[in-house]
Structure 1
Amino acid sequence: MNSRKWKPAVVAVALALLGGLAQAQELKIGYVDLQRVLRDAQPAKAAQAKLESEFGKREKELADLAARLKAASERLDRDAPTLAESERSRRQRELVEQDREFQRKRREFQEDLTQRKNEELAQVLDRANRAVKQIFDQEKYDLILQEVVFASPRVDITKRVIDALNNGK
């Protein structure tokens, strides 16, 4: 192949690559640490406090029930050598039944708590995404990422998102 024929093609490709690099340098990129938003933003803290107040009483009741079960089990272990076989069997059955009831209540508590956490989290995430979108539009970003391996503090807009959420914007 004649060098006169391919030299213009190589020059054109090189110019296109250089033009692409120059254009890439003009990209405005931002990064949001979503875990930090969910930990530090006031709406997230309010949601956590709401959940604690909503589920605190049930959690305490479960802890009390667990303590009573443990005490009854220890009492049975301590008294077992002096109990009649029928009394020991009756108390063991009662403990098994009480433990089954405790496990059921604990499972229901966990399911209810998980469902409510997901509902509250969805609301906070929705607000956070709207704040990110607003920053994206107002400051004319080309790309905003939420999950990255490494990000420079120069592109981290997490604080602005938290501030926007805290200010109710």
Structure 2
Amino acid sequence: MKSLSRSAVAALLGGLALSMPALAEDLRIGFVNTDRVFREAQTAKAAQSKLEAEFSRREKEINDLGNTLKAASDKYEREAPTLSESQRQQRQKQLVDQDREFQRKRREFTEDLNARKNEELQQVLDRANRIVRQVAEQEKFDLIVQEAVYINPKYDITDKVIKALNAAK
């Protein structure tokens, strides 16, 4: 009984091994480079411009605050030898407070910018995924991969996706 089931399993595995090349010939695979979509698609570029416009004023304020802090620190370093001990301590405290405020504002700016960037990129990715599905259905792909260690360029459909994404305003 055991020998019969082993031979049946062997026959089944042999049949599968022989049919695998036929299955592979019918399988259509595509690849989309998401990084390229984020760099080259007009929607991604528009999202980047939107973010720059939205955050440019705050970025300038933070840069100005950093420059003011640096100037105050440089001035303190130059004047420190001539200041009394109480004046030195007072100026050091002011510099520490200014630095703390600067660090807080910079951290908040970075967190807000990253959150908005993630929102915008997610919208671009959602649109791109809809386009990928459309291309896959129209061209009868069985599998579309977005991340891979290596991909043969003949399977790369990124240009088609970017073109369709740019056309779909």
TM-score, scaled to structure 1: 0.90
What is residue 84 of structure 2 aligned with on the other side? Answer: 84
CA 1:85–1:10 in 2, change beyond 3 Å: closer, same or farther? closer
- What is the Cα deviation at residue 19 of structure 1? 2.0
CA 1:9–1:100 in 2, change beyond 3 Å: closer, same or farther? closer
What is residue 118 of structure 1 aligned with on the other side? Answer: 118
Which amino acid letter does the alignment assign opposite residue 143 of structure 1? Answer: L
CA 1:9–1:94 in 2, change beyond 3 Å: closer, same or farther? closer
For 1:1-169, list aligned pairs within 5 A.
13-168=13-168
Q: How far apart are the structure 1 equivalents of 2:11 and 2:116? A: 61
Match of 1:144, SS? strand
- Percent identity reads 58
Deviations 1:97-116 (A, max 9, x none): 11111111111111110110
Q: How far apart are the structure 2 equivalents of 1:95 and 1:47? A: 37
Which consecutive unaligned segments of at least 5 residues does structure 1 have?
A: 1-5
Deviations 1:96-151 (A, max 9, x none): 11111111111111111011001101100000100000111111111010111111
Which consecutive unaligned segments of at least 5 residues does structure 2 have?
A: 1-5
CA 1:162–1:85 in 2, change beyond 3 Å: closer, same or farther? same
Which amino acid letter does the alignment assign opposite residue 100 of structure 1? Answer: R
Q: How far apart are the structure 2 equivalents of 1:123 and 1:103? A: 30
Which amino acid letter does the alignment assign opposite residue 112 of structure 1? Answer: D
What is residue 3 of structure 2 aligned with on the other side? Answer: none
Computed over aligned residues only, the root mean square deviation of the Cα atoms, in angstroms, reads 1.8
Match of 2:76, SS? helix
- What is the Cα deviation at residue 21 of structure 1? 1.4
CA 1:10–1:70 in 2, change beyond 3 Å: closer, same or farther? closer
- What is the Cα deviation at residue 11 of structure 1? 6.7
